A and B are shown apart, each in its own frame.
Chain A
Amino acid sequence: MSRANSLSRANRRNGLLFCLPWLIGLTVFLIYPLCAAFYYSLCDYSVLLPPVFIGFDNYLDLAKDPLFWKSLGNTAYFAAGSVSLGLLVSLSLALLLNSKVKALGVYRTIFFLPSLMPVVASSILWMWMYNGQSGLINTGLRALGISGPAWLADPIWAKPAIVIMAVWGAGNAMVVYLAGLQDVPASLYEAALIDGAGFFQRLIHVTIPMISPVIYFNVVLSLISGFQAFTQAFIMTGSTGAPERSTLFYVLNLYNVGFQDLRMGYASAMAWVLFVIILLLTWAATKLSQRFVTYDR
């Protein structure tokens, strides 16, 4: 009895020791900043001077700030666009690359490659692609007899342009889908085939339900990263979110307020609102997943 007790004590101690580096990291780099940011969000804080407590003023000001709503709207547009389009493209690619064709590895590598590129580099590359005068996209469109817009300089097209660029990095999600697809038992497809199911019936009734946990995982991850979009806009259209603030994303606005205007208290309030939004969306996705996601257990 006592030996079993000391063994479990030793296990607990060892377990804690092994977890410790992570626990320290979590506390120092996540929990503390999170709590500190919440405190600062209740203060008037410029980073350079000690914080002055002002209660919920920052949050009240946020509700009245048109730029807050504008940037939230832009970000929601980007997240919705990049998540849905990303899902469609990466799942389609994974389905294509899950078939048995020659040189499959080469294709998989080619489609995965763009996602390895740093966002800064791909943003600069896409700036050239989107060039209204001599960009690859407009040159292609011209060959089809279409006069393309000045993409990044046009308030109507700048946001869709950044969404399209996000889809280019769908390789990561594609690989995860591919792994999910390969886990679908062949017997289910065989049974469906015997029952006379066509490609789309198999896709809807076998493939998608079987990989639904993977879809859920990818959607939640891309939703989170969608709401944190920053680099693309910062590089491609500048920190003002030009043209006409059509690419002023939430985090870009937060950066401007915190680091350019030295209003770190207000920026902290913005960060907390974003945190709550992402939390709520993830919760909603989890609720939905209980209805639509099937775990093979």
Chain B
Amino acid sequence: MDAVVADFNALELAHAKSDPGYVPIEVEKVTISKLEQKLLIAIAGGNPPDLAGNYSFAVAAYADHGALSDLRPLMAQSNFDRSRYIEHFLRLGEYRGGTWALPIAPASTALVFNKRLFNEAGLDPARPPTTIEELDAYAEKLTKWEVTLPSGDKRVESGYLPQVPAAQKRLLQAGFLPNEPHWWMFGWGDFFGGQLLDGSDRVSTASAANIRAFEWVASYSRKLGVDVIKRFRSGFGSSSSPQNAFLSGKVAMEMQGVWIYNSVEKYAPGLAWAAAPFPHPADHPELAGTTRADADVLMIPKGSAHPGEAWQFIQFASTQAALEKLCLAQQKFTPLNDVSDGFWSAHPNPSIRLFRELALGKNAVSIPRTEVWNEYNRELGNAADLIQNLKQTPAIALADVQTKMQAALDRDRKILARRQAQ
């Protein structure tokens, strides 16, 4: 983003030089941590930045609380051409009839796998699993234990080894763990055809497809053992470190975002990996190519002192050249339909076309746009905890979340109605 800001400022200065009457706009970029909360406080305090970057899943809550300017009037004035954009990403900024944000750096997810571990397990890296059932079979072959024999000798064996008591085996390598990385525990339902929201007012956590997805999650706890997974996972370092489970070769297959390329280059250069569409249930071929696709967005906070100038910058940052520069620096793809040849040839990620194609597909899903998302996410996280620890069945845990979240959504709708009545 720094380079795009510098380009914009240079262009403005050049404009001022050629036209002495023109007052140039200068954009100053400030990087902050805990963005969501700090931005909220700045807006509430009446001193927001003129322009803010944020995540697409924050749009609904911000918009519902009147914290954002609707971009539609500005878009109409400048003949905004929505056909330039990949429709899915443009929709992430739209909510309740308004356009509150524009996407700049999107991301999507796919199955990534360790080619060396595939070869070691006798699997063909050119034939990654395409169905969930295949994924499960591959995962079993890619799971390795250190088994202590009655003689005291140790031997490495693969599979789940249900016949060997827990005390005599130590997990060395997992083929697949649904909670590694743990970022998307809320969203496995999407891969089985489930939805978290049915329309905008009905919570559908306990749908059959979601229950099926979490049964699948729980099956890994049963196959490997709850305590085994916990202890194994506690040996992993943070996602941005060489001790990351995938980078260190402890987990052979994961769902990962397009950014995995950067992590490999930084922390595990030389790791032989590849990406493929995340598998779908064999009985649902129509779900092939399901991907989580969200984006970083630009928004103009309510109370921005310079909304016109902010919009000028957004327009500049949304040109194909600027977006390609930004997304190339972040090693992502752009939210636009057109891609220049230069972008493809300069892009270092060998799987970038796959990640983009998945995002263009009909099964690109995103975090539901609802003002209660943070609460919903926490509830789902807790349900996932209970399900993985085999404390509750998915049917019970998800029904509980559905009841709570329907009440939360109704509560918020009531508040909204009360506000509008005032």
Contact = CB atoms under 8 A, between A and B. Distances in A.
A245 B392 CA distance: 14
A155 B302 CA distance: 42
Contacts of A146: none
Interface string A39-53: 000001011110010
Interface stretch (B225-233, B288-296, B306-314, B325-333): B225-233
A282 interface: no
B408 to A, nearest CB: 8
Nearest to A148: B231
Interface of B: 36-37, 40-41, 43-44, 61-62, 65-67, 227, 230-235, 302, 371-372, 374-375, 378, 381-382, 385-386, 389, 391, 415, 418-419, 422
A176 interface: no
Contacts, number: 81
Given A131-B234, A133-B234, A242 B389 contact: no
A103 to B, nearest CB: 38
A244 B378 CA distance: 11
A132 B231 contact: yes
Given A131-B235, A259-B40, A244 B65 contact: no
Contacts of B391: 244
A152 B234 CA distance: 9
A133 B235 CA distance: 5
Interface in A217-276: 239-240, 242-245, 256, 259-262
Nearest to B302: A48
Contacts of B382: 240, 242, 244-245
A131 B238 CA distance: 13
Given A48-B66, A155-B389, A260-B375, 7 more contacts: A47-B41, A52-B418, A132-B231, A150-B233, A244-B385, A260-B36, A261-B374
A195 B44 CA distance: 70
A182 interface: no
A152 B236 CA distance: 13
A48 B389 contact: no
30 contacts: A44-B418, A46-B65, A48-B40, A48-B44, A48-B62, A48-B65, A49-B66, A49-B419, A52-B418, A54-B418, A131-B234, A132-B234, A132-B235, A133-B234, A133-B235, A134-B235, A153-B230, A153-B233, A153-B234, A240-B378, A240-B382, A242-B385, A244-B386, A245-B382, A256-B374, A256-B378, A259-B40, A260-B378, A261-B375, A262-B371
Interface in A16-71: 44, 46-49, 52, 54
Give the interface SS of chain A, mostly helix, strand, loop or mixed: loop
A-B pairs with the 7 shortest C-beta distances? A133-B235, A132-B234, A150-B230, A48-B65, A260-B374, A47-B44, A153-B230
A154 B227 CA distance: 9
Contacts of A240: 378, 381-382
Nearest to A54: B418
